[in-house]
Amino acid sequence: MTELEDTWWYCIKHHAVEHYGGCRAADRLGPYDTREEAQHALERVSERNEAWDEDPRWNDDEDDKDR
């Protein structure tokens, strides 16, 4: 078994947790070490997006106002 075959993924197309041999990579988030981590993939995405939105290093809205 390869290292990836023991991982879990979250399919954004089917809204389901999948093992290694699931849908194509473009439709999945991961890899995750456990099924439970994969089940919470969208929560992690939301948390990261919120953090990036609040991070001044990534927030260039002020620059857009000057144009």
Confidence of residue 67 (pLDDT cuts 50, 70, 90): very low
Query: What is the pTM (predicted TM-score) of this model?
Result: 0.73
Distance between CA 29 and CA 43 in Å, rounded? 12
Give the per-residue pLDDT at 61: 63
pLDDT of residue 15: 96
Cβ neighbours of 11 (radius 10 Å): 18
The distance in angstroms from the start CA to the end CA of the chain is: 54
**Each residue's pLDDT tens digit, 7-66:** 999 999 999 999 988 899 999 999 999 999 999 999 999 999 999 888 888 766 655 555
